[in-house]
Structure 1
Amino acid sequence: MSKRKKRKQLPLPLYDELIKLDQSLFNEEGAWYTPDYIAENMVHTFRYYQRAALRFFHYSQVSQAFRHRNINHVLFHMATGSGKTDLMAGLILYLYQEHGYQNFLFLVNTNGVLNKTIDNLTNKASEKYLYKPQIEIDGERIEIRQVQSFPKNQSKNTIYLKLATVQSVASDIYTQKENAMGEEDYAKHKVVILGDEAHHYSATTKSEKETEQSWESAISTILNAREDNLLLEFTATIDLDNKNIYEKYKDKVIYRYALDRFIQDKYSKNVKRIQSSNADIENMLNVVLLSEYRRRYALDQYGTYIKPVVMFKSQRIDASNEANEKFNEMIETLTADSLREFLARQEQITMEQDSETLAFAHQYYREHDDQLTEIVREIKREFAPTRIINANDTERTGLLEKGQYDALNSLESPTNLYRVIFAVAKLTEGWDVLNLYDIVRLSDDPKVKGTKATTMSEAQLIGRGARYYPFLLNGERSYKRRFEDDSKDSLILETIHYHTINEPQYLKNLVESLNEMNLPTGTDEKNPLLNVKVKRSFKQTDVWKYGKIYYNETVEVSDDYYDSLEKYGVDNKKDIMIPYLFSSQELDYKDREVTGDVTNTHHVAVEFDKRYVNKVMNRISFYHFHNLKKYIPLLKSREQFLGENWLNLYNRTVYAIVPRSMTKDDLRPNEKLKILEAYFMDVAKKIKAGYNKRRGTNKFIGYPIKEYITNYRKRVPNYDTSRILMDTNPQKVQRFEMKEDYFVYDSAIINQTEKQLIDRIGERVNEFKEQYSDVYLIRMDENMHRESAKNHQLKLHQFGYDHNEIRLEGFQPDFILYLKNADFIVQIFIEPKGRDMEEEQWKEDLLLYINEQEAEIMFEDETEDVKIKGVKFYTMNDGRNTIKQIGEIALGRAFKGLSVQEL
């Protein structure tokens, strides 16, 4: 692959100013945090970047630095799938409560996205509704009312939300219609415009035309109808390389959260490409085998059911329909013998790049040769024509409006059986499928090549498909990846594969498109583990032979302590209230009492018998007795768990909070199951969080370096796209040879932030040696722990009781700076951090807590004088002065050598 030319990152003055303001100690709003009324009234908890986006917007509206400016038009440039609609929902509450806005105009350019957003923001009966059933701020109930026009006389405690396509709003502005909102209507009360998929609204700017009646002009008219009207735009794909677009938005981009960062933060699936020269029919069968292997692997390895969805992407509708017919025929004629023959042929094919994941799948079927007849039977059932959606309209006029649109947007539902989608262009913006695992680019017509426009559309589709699927794992759901990247588990359960045709020009255009989107992908190929070895020279030192590294001891918590669910934080006395409206969502459930008159909901008793309870407990692997026993050691049986001394389920009433139109007789059996499942999931979460076999102490144990600092193996992440990742991102991981004596390993597989830390320590080794005879930097890699069963002991745990956040699991700081002289040893824990600092603040708090509690620290071996220290997170370019802190700890003074500013 040819080397890409690095492209300079264009400056964004407003965003850059806000970053500096956020980091400034003199920011009068620096202590501001996301208001409780947002967390209390929204279903999802904001992630760190959503909190930052809201914080930056808050600064722009209230900070002294902006009071001389009217920041009334901003753009949130955030990755597909990163939760822009959640952010909008939070901003609506913020602007209502803090700035008195009651009128919100939501704009989008397609009916599909519009219908989805109506559900998100106004439909309490929808599984995708983003607010709690009853919004309450400062004791006042707030109503969100969907309207076609904003009323002249506005009611107290009411948010008016007009959701419309930009086409209809522009038409109303330019054409005098009865009951339509014209310019003057947007001048009566202050209005916030929320522009989703905002890249569509700059056609005039982009083309350098002046069209009086463009969408862009209509939005501008509404914004300028009042000085205090606001325009908040949201998009994942703004073309800032276009000079006119850049000039329009350079002072309006208020926050950026790029797709590559979204993927690196583990909020999405990984993305891998499988490049094949197979014919379409062979690719189809390969992806069927892979998809079915994913389903079986999840069930066999983790006892969890997932339904992986496959999408076949064509360039032409007639080709897509033809492929659909060929697919049906392929599945219908598949036999155990034909599958054996296919696997044999695939084994003989030498592909330019072997797919590691396909190899796993093929090997599985070869190992289960005696079961192929049953496997083929299941494939025929799973991929039957009744489980295929053809999303091409042609003669099927209005197909997506006749029920299949809803099916496409509920593919994660257990009652939705669709496994395959054939499509050309229907599924773009607004499609929020989470369990899409394979996209197959069909070759269609050899004469039709993938143009740049085509591959950009495909890259955007891949970005949408990369949304993470929060499947159950050990009874828990997570919205972040849980496995080590490129591991077998990760490749099968946390990676979306894009199966491409092996045509040079098409691949060139596709890679360029992926780069433009900053979408990190790589070819799915064999990625060997690399050896990282302890240097021979280090093994000859006394530090290796006799030295120790120190971590605090943990003590066991007796099983007898956990003699009731109260010890886990579970109430087994009160009746159970479950918000049925959210019971089927993959969300955290929280107990909530309903008192007084509730306008739109009431609670009804849920009648069920033991069959329901058994089904729920069988469905959730946490409640399989062998697992339940791990967390409740005193438990004798599942029946005892349900009894009076534990869950006490049958002596309490389960209530569901439902719309007033529903009665208890309206609850169908599957809905009762969902209600009970929501409750049991919450109890499982509390039990796991409340159970810890060990806790940290202030006693530190010395572990012999020669036994614990060992050789290990690690992969280098395999990415070949995303220019931010490849060129400038401080989290890019590479292998570096480490020849310097102070580093104990011969190489390091690390990111740019970690490499910079190592280099800055290296630049000060001579100063350290003025006071210490031995100076070593030790990389504590998690992979080293995986290869040694005893290395789980090398974790730092909280001790004492003065922690803002109690976290008993412990963690392993990435580096230890080991300093020794004739009198004492200093061991400094160092943790480089590129992001997630807010979420992992407890780790930094623990590192600094060690310093504060120096007098309380005890050692098992008192013969050596040892000092245990920790420092603030090290960030890129040492923005937190961590190196200075290291100098003050180790030398008792600032370094005489290079300063941070001189580097």
Structure 2
Amino acid sequence: MVMISDEAHHLNAETKKTLTKGEAEEKASWEGTVSEIFGQHPENMLLEFTATVDLSHEAIRSKYHDKILYDYSLRQFREDGYSKDIELRQADLPPDDRMMQAMVLSQYRRKVAEAHGLHCKPVILMKSKTIKESADNEAAFGAMVAGLSSDALDALRAASGGDETLSRAFAYIMDERGLSGPDFARELQGDFGREKVVNVNNPTDLERRQIQLNALEDRDNEIRVIFAVDKLNEGWDVLNLFDIVRLYDTRDGKANKVGKTTMAEAQLIGRGARYFPFMAPDQPEAEREKRKYDNAMDNPLRILEELHYHCSHNPKYIQDIRNALRETGMLDETARTVRLRLKDSFKQTSLYAGEYVWMNDRKKNTRDGVAGLDAYKIEGSFTYPSLMTGRVTEASAFGGGQLTLKPSNKEPVSREFKLADFGKAILSFAMDANDFFHFTSLKTYFPQLASASQFVTSDAYLGDVTVNVRGLLDDLAHLTARQKLDITQYVLHEIESGVKRESVEYIGTKDFKPYPIKDRFTDKILKLRIEGETGLSWTESNVPGLDQIDLSGKDWHAYEDSYGTDQEKHFIKYMHDQEARLRGIYDDFYLLRNEKAVKLYDFDTGRAFEPDFVLFLRKKGQEGSTILQLFIEPKGDQLRPKDDWKQDFLAQVKAQARLETIFQGRDYTILGLPFFNETGQTNTDFKAAFEAEALGA
């Protein structure tokens, strides 16, 4: 018997020494029953999944210490980008005004999504402490919406002058979109009317509404607000919950310890923080299920990557909930938001105002050059696992050794067969049973293929394929139709795996196009997690020697500060050391940190790559100017194995990139350099390339 248990923490009631009333019931109904079934046979298996296993409990930790197959923590889940970011919003306002704030922000999200061609119907959860309070709050919300006026919205906007997010929402809706106060009020009354509000505190009503509550993302589901106490703590999967409003102001934390209620609130926040997947119009290759704007906090779509938790202004409670979120892994205390600004002096340069950065694109791989299996490194010779020999073995029960009974004195041998010799009927039957070998599929991978028959008979495809089979001589001489089919299907499976392994859907173009520097490189708001040097400013850095360099006074460093890795800061220091030599050759040079401004695509596979820096070197002459554009990537040793393809690509740029656009009086060259690393052979390669390409040595 194999049992699979979701929410498996319910199976730990019996493990605990002391049980609550609810745990005692779970012991009788869950853990006891499962344990009894599990113990019926030594080969029974129980696979458990839970997001809330209490490993701090000594008995539970002892139970699981040698049984955990995989531990993917909520903290790692968040760090990998699979959750919304949590923003704690404190407002010294009564509950009605907090509800109105959440309503405006929810409508702002909907409008931003629609403006970018995305369907998103944001949901608000109004959290009360008791069922009676929840009913009262629902009535107050209904009355507030019904009586909503332009004056009320204007008053809320005036009071939100210090609230950057709310101010941005009002500016977008009423200024950029031009929605008048009365029209905005009527729109909110329609979108948040009583028929679009649900209270889930009644168990009978909750059961009736369960399907509706678990389908909140559906296009025909217009529920916008949910009033609840604690009915949605477990088993509720919703991705478009963006606002949770806490409508009470009590706390149960004591002596810096997280209370039970506060921990339940943190777990609810964690449930609401599930990411709302969407395709970013400006990042078509980015994963739908991951955050995309940690390095572009000012992008309008960032609002779809945040969960806002609205509560009253209560510093002690805020500390409690932060502690609880930190314990659950949903709050990153090392995260910081920084503003990366271009220097005014750089913005005034002619390079910034009138020059270009060159980038390539990617396109669908047409596979025009594919004319056979060898294009996918398939050599056409395969080895089939041995045919069964029919030999029988028996062993003595008293340890007298092993006896072998042979039906004949012949030993297995190997023989090579040509797959085509099995006959067209066998090959066609095997191909029909595998969708990959249907003609429409084959045509995708082999565009020059004229017919399925050609694939079977041509030496470029199956016609010259051989397979080595091992078995008894008599069996090999008289293969049955079933055996021939099994061998053919095995070979086809190996070919399919090889084609899929070597095939690429996209390739990077070799034509590079110009884009105005001033449009690509702008001021940025970044959310960074402090890891080693990453996230530390230039003046906060621990890299030796940086305190001797005033980065703000170096006009060649286009941005005011640097928050990069240790290798990035070492590279900037290296550039500082080369300043005099570069000024002796070039009229001006500028180093720009690449924060989503430049994206390149590997020629061979179309993989996206954003080099850390772009260095512009400009030399002016009588006839015009020569501009070199260098892509540079500082790289730590720990990242080398998986990123070496980027270095291979950078090495190809100079020879293969084509700049077809012509600018009179300006000559452009683009190239990539080997990885920069402060030590070892890597830096020897980088310095040699830099000397040759940039310094002309």
- TM > 0.5 fold call: yes
Q: 1:556, 1:420 → 2: CA distance?
A: 43
One-letter amino acid of the counterpart of residue 271, structure 1? I
CA contact (8 A) 2:346 2:555 kept: no
**1:309 matched residue in structure 2:** 123
**1:330 matched residue in structure 2:** 144
**Correspondence 1:340 to 2:150:** yes
**Correspondence 1:870 to 2:673:** yes
Q: Return the offset for 1:109.
A: 4.0
Q: 1:363, 1:740 → 2: CA distance?
A: 34
**1:814 matched residue in structure 2:** 612
Q: Percent identity?
A: 24
CA contact (8 A) 2:298 2:525 kept: no
Pick one of 170, 174, 177 that aligns with 2:31.
170
Q: 1:326, 1:701 → 2: CA distance?
A: 58
**Correspondence 1:411 to 2:411:** no
**1:22 matched residue in structure 2:** none
One-letter amino acid of the counterpart of residue 848, structure 1? D
CA deviation map 1:263-300 (0-9, x unaligned): xx4x433333332111101111222232233324433x
Secondary structure of 1:752 counterpart = coil
What are the equivalent positions in structure 2 for 1:455-534 lying under 5 Å apart?
A: 455-471=262-278, 478-482=288-292, 485-487=296-298, 489-517=300-328, 519=330, 531-533=341-343
TM-score, structure 1 length as denominator? Answer: 0.47
**Correspondence 1:440 to 2:245:** yes
Q: 2:641, 2:122 → 1: CA distance?
A: 30
Secondary structure of 1:732 counterpart = coil
**Correspondence 1:739 to 2:551:** yes
CA deviation map 1:220-278 (0-9, x unaligned): 8xx7xxxxxx54254636xxxxxxxxxxxxxxxxxx7252x23xx4x433333332111
What are the equivalent positions in structure 2 for 1:477-626 lying under 5 Å apart?
A: 478-482=288-292, 485-487=296-298, 489-517=300-328, 519=330, 531-533=341-343, 551=358
CA deviation map 1:378-409 (0-9, x unaligned): 534433444333333xxx34554x23333332
Q: 1:316, 1:879 → 2: CA distance?
A: 63
Q: 1:218, 1:445 → 2: CA distance?
A: 36
**Correspondence 1:108 to 2:14:** no
One-letter amino acid of the counterpart of residue 459, structure 1? A
Q: 1:867, 1:305 → 2: CA distance?
A: 40
Change (3 A) 1:489 1:766: closer
Change (3 A) 1:496 1:837: farther
Secondary structure of 2:631 counterpart = strand
Q: Return the offset for 1:506.
A: 1.7
Secondary structure of 1:467 counterpart = coil
CA deviation map 1:847-902 (0-9, x unaligned): 42342576666788999997833334x6xx8799754441343358xxxxxxxxxx
CA contact (8 A) 1:269 1:495 kept: yes
**1:68 matched residue in structure 2:** none
Q: Return the offset for 1:356.
A: 2.6
Q: Return the offset for 1:813.
A: 2.5
**Correspondence 1:424 to 2:261:** no
**2:173 matched residue in structure 1:** 364
One-letter amino acid of the counterpart of residue 506, structure 1? Y
CA contact (8 A) 1:463 1:519 kept: yes
Change (3 A) 1:480 1:749: farther
Change (3 A) 1:821 1:276: closer
CA contact (8 A) 1:743 1:778 kept: no
**2:47 matched residue in structure 1:** 193
What are the equivalent positions in structure 2 for 1:34-49 lying under 5 Å apart?
A: none
Pick one of 591, 605, 608 that aligns with 1:778.
591
CA deviation map 1:781-828 (0-9, x unaligned): 458x6xxxxxxxx765555xxx1x135xx7652313568999x99864
CA deviation map 1:180-212 (0-9, x unaligned): 332x52x225x463342252355234xxxxxxx
Q: Which has the larger radius of gyration?
A: 2
CA contact (8 A) 1:173 1:181 kept: yes
One-letter amino acid of the counterpart of residue 143, structure 2? E
CA contact (8 A) 1:313 1:422 kept: yes
**Correspondence 1:830 to 2:653:** no
CA contact (8 A) 1:197 1:235 kept: no
**Correspondence 1:751 to 2:563:** yes
Change (3 A) 1:439 1:218: same
**2:95 matched residue in structure 1:** 280
CA contact (8 A) 1:774 1:821 kept: yes
CA contact (8 A) 1:817 1:830 kept: yes
Change (3 A) 1:710 1:762: farther
Gaps of 5+ in 2: 12-25, 369-429, 436-503, 540-548, 621-625, 693-697
Secondary structure of 1:461 counterpart = helix
Q: 1:362, 1:426 → 2: CA distance?
A: 36
CA deviation map 1:575-604 (0-9, x unaligned): xxxxxxxxxxxxxxxxxx998799xxxxxx
CA deviation map 1:677-719 (0-9, x unaligned): xxxxxxxxxxxx9999x9424xx8999xxx8489964244368
Gaps of 5+ in 1: 1-101, 113-164, 206-214, 224-229, 238-255, 562-592, 599-688, 720-724, 786-793, 893-903
CA contact (8 A) 2:9 2:50 kept: no
CA contact (8 A) 1:814 1:832 kept: yes
Q: 1:695, 1:348 → 2: CA distance?
A: 51
Change (3 A) 1:471 1:740: closer
CA contact (8 A) 1:778 1:815 kept: yes
Pick one of 31, 53, 58 that aligns with 1:204.
58
Q: 1:439, 1:856 → 2: CA distance?
A: 53
Q: 1:364, 1:431 → 2: CA distance?
A: 31
Secondary structure of 1:403 counterpart = helix
Q: How many residues align?
A: 518
TM-score, structure 2 length as denominator? Answer: 0.58
CA contact (8 A) 2:153 2:185 kept: no
**Correspondence 1:290 to 2:100:** no
Q: 1:713, 1:291 → 2: CA distance?
A: 28
**1:257 matched residue in structure 2:** 76
Q: Return the offset for 1:502.
A: 0.9
CA deviation map 1:168-189 (0-9, x unaligned): 5631476xx6xx332x52x225
**2:38 matched residue in structure 1:** 181
**1:19 matched residue in structure 2:** none
Change (3 A) 1:701 1:438: closer
CA contact (8 A) 1:269 1:466 kept: yes
Q: Return the offset for 1:499.
A: 1.5
